Amino acid sequence: MSKDLETENTFKSIFPGKKIVMLDCVDLNRYGGGFHCIAINKPKKKKRRRAV
């Protein structure tokens, strides 16, 4: 069994009923990036103000 298939099956067992999407990140990693690098600058969620 490939590591990718093993990993996919592990995630499916941890998150039953969720859609697991496997992404090929070879090109992203090859040029010095990674999923962490492209996700690190997500905008913060705005805080809701309470109505008075």
Do 4 and 22 contact (CB within 8 A), yes or no? yes
What's the average pLDDT block by block, 10 residues per block, for the chain (52 residues)? 92 96 84 75 75 70
* pLDDT value for 21: 92
Tokens of 7: 């990993």
Q: Where are the domains of the chain?
A: 3-39
* pLDDT value for 42: 66
Q: What is the pTM of this model?
A: 0.54
Q: How far is CA 21 from CA 8, 18, 43, 47, in A?
A: 8, 10, 23, 30
* pLDDT value for 34: 78
